[in-house]
Chain A
């Protein structure tokens, strides 16, 4: 069994590893008083941050653990769009020769580099366990903003970094970052067949969910990130499969009649909204994982596909051609009439709810290409987000991941008020093509 824990640094007393860290405990406790103070930075502001290597307190002589932690943390901070990382070659002090807690190093060595924020920390590693302490400092105020203690195995190091990146964003912007989460996608990297993968937001810890020589499409997560739903032709005909990440077991959802050509997981993970094709008509059904029809959601001979469910499980958005062209509609998951949401453009599809349920992103065909828009879920004017397809919101609601071009990679868009910007690539052409991202909830405490 793999165990991983994170604690606020001041809470580490009583934790086994605390004994060897007793020397720094006093500093950590002092830090606690500062933790409730945020520095709110305007969304357009990019802060200069220095990220020092972790000081090796034992067991990481070759710097492997420190390197992995810092590499992931820097990648997250760069992807966030809120930071410019100061070149490590310019750092005056060496991590191994200086302290990492308040009072044990010289802020002047960092303010002279123009650093507004500073990350320092330590690592202790042995065969059983890795322990990392990480601190965020406000350089101008010479103040500690956050201190975290992480313990776990080798395989948890990048997740520790993802969690600390989320903490840094919380402290600097007032909103927790999205990096302690997973992204599922469709990719044919290394072959001709589209497979389902999951990965960290920074592209790390790539995990192959499917491994077959057919077509696999449309991944989605449940809220707890225990299950992935996807569509596959591995039986020869399209079907819906639920893959359980904990056990790597999989079930095929039996069809209640017709072909299951797509779907999305309900947040609770115990039911799905499925697109069921029968006699040329495709309608949406709420299905149990055993194929039981819990509710037929749409009716008639038209196309009804691309279901998206609001995070609270109450609203359904989908694409229908019932009005003559593909448009996005919204209805209650408990049934009733659907309300047309999109009017601009004649090909609007792939809706996705923001985590707070107030906005829907979707793709709209314009000329030969697709653009991503967002629109209030209750109706209103669409705002252009970016060129691209397959919008997927981050769990903090601040970013939209999307497919670039014809499956060349995944981009990341940062929403800033009424505007925003593309801040980075989650995958690139070199990673092989990638499309249709699904962004999970936070992985939890």
Chain B
């Protein structure tokens, strides 16, 4: 006689436990959202970043937060979800900054210099080709490449964090080069005051 693992069965009698877990997760998310919206009031404002007052502090959170947060809210890739900084793009399986993206990074660096009390998270993304884990590492390389570039332009490295989402959060879900090219990107999320 032996004891069997609970993971092998018992789906039905685990419903209560899972329901509770789900409820806890929902409450945690709700709490996080409340915290998010209280620290970034402009994120709830559809006019954020578009009016003449777009340079006030309240608009720094526009863009709806990280790509993961946007994915969770179903707004990833939606118009106006980009934030004040511009994405850069990469060649397949490559993480070098392309010459045409240097100008974008200089503009981003200028914005960050003008808003010295902000922090930025650089998100590295890849297209859907290749394996998930390799793409996570490749996305990290892309994020780091932009961080290094911004640092050489005078933005303090303390203000720049990086994260990779690999191929997990595509902006575009068609299976063609146009789409892949859009997805091979660094996205810059302004995180408000330090």
Total interface residues on B, CB under 8 Å, equals: 45
Q: Do the beta carbons of A218 and B132 come within 8 Å of each other? A: yes
Q: Is B136 an interface residue (CB 8 A)?
A: yes
Q: Is B90 an interface residue (CB 8 A)?
A: no
Which stretch from A24-32, A171-179, A276-284, A426-434 is at the chain B interface? A276-284
Which stretch from B44-52, B101-109, B111-119, B161-169 is at the chain A interface? B161-169
Residues of A within 8 Å of B162, CB to CB, are 280
Q: Is A343 an interface residue (CB 8 A)?
A: no
Instruction: Give Cα distance in the complex from A89 to B103, angstroms.
Output: 74
Q: Which of B7, B22, B68 contacts A245 (CB 8 A)?
A: B7
Residues of B within 8 Å of A215, CB to CB, are 68, 165, 168-169
Q: Do the beta carbons of A248 and B130 come within 8 Å of each other? A: no
Return the chain A residue nearest B8 by Cβ: A205
Total interface residues on A, CB under 8 Å, equals: 63
Return the chain A residue nearest B22 by Cβ: A211
Instruction: Give Cα distance in the complex from A5 to B2, angstroms.
Output: 6
Q: Is A217 an interface residue (CB 8 A)?
A: yes
Q: Is A58 an interface residue (CB 8 A)?
A: no
Chain A 266-284 per-residue mask, 1 if CB under 8 angstroms from chain B, else 0? 0000000001010110100
Residues of A within 8 Å of B11, CB to CB, are 205-207
Chain B 14-34 per-residue mask, 1 if CB under 8 angstroms from chain A, else 0? 000110011001000100000
Instruction: Give Cα distance in the complex from A7 to B36, angstroms.
Output: 59
Instruction: Give Cα distance in the complex from A396 to B122, angstroms.
Output: 45
Instruction: Give Cα distance in the complex from A2 to B10, angstroms.
Output: 10
Instruction: Give Cα distance in the complex from A182 to B128, angstroms.
Output: 28
Q: Is B141 an interface residue (CB 8 A)?
A: yes
Q: Do the beta carbons of A226 and B129 come within 8 Å of each other? A: no
Query: Which one of B18, B133, B163, B169 has the highest number of Cβ atoms from chain A below 10 Å of its Cβ?
Result: B133
Q: Do the beta carbons of A306 and B133 come within 8 Å of each other? A: yes
Per the 8 Å Cβ criterion, residues 152-176 of A in contact with B are 152, 155-156, 159
Q: Is B137 an interface residue (CB 8 A)?
A: yes
Q: Do the beta carbons of B163 and A259 come within 8 Å of each other? A: yes
Q: Is B120 an interface residue (CB 8 A)?
A: no
Residues of A within 8 Å of B10, CB to CB, are 155
Chain A 324-337 per-residue mask, 1 if CB under 8 angstroms from chain B, else 0? 01100000000000
Q: Do the beta carbons of A182 and B134 come within 8 Å of each other? A: no
Residues of B within 8 Å of A2, CB to CB, are 3-4, 6, 9
Known contacts A214-B68, A261-B164, A445-B2; is-contact A275 B133 (Cβ 8 Å):
yes
Q: Is A409 an interface residue (CB 8 A)?
A: no
Residues of B within 8 Å of A205, CB to CB, are 8-9, 11
Q: Is A323 an interface residue (CB 8 A)?
A: no
Q: Do the beta carbons of A282 and B8 come within 8 Å of each other? A: no
Given contacts A2-B6, A156-B4, A212-B25, 8 further A-B contacts (CB under 8 A): A2-B9, A4-B1, A4-B2, A156-B9, A217-B132, A236-B66, A280-B145, A347-B93
Chain B residues proximal to chain A, CB less than 8 Å: 1-11, 17-18, 21-22, 25, 29, 66, 68, 71-72, 93, 95, 128-134, 136-138, 140-141, 143-145, 162-165, 168-169, 175
Could you show 24 A-B contacts with beta carbons less than 8 Å apart? A1-B3, A4-B4, A5-B1, A152-B4, A156-B4, A156-B9, A159-B8, A192-B71, A207-B11, A225-B5, A246-B5, A246-B6, A259-B164, A261-B140, A262-B136, A277-B140, A279-B144, A303-B141, A306-B134, A321-B134, A325-B93, A349-B134, A363-B131, A445-B2
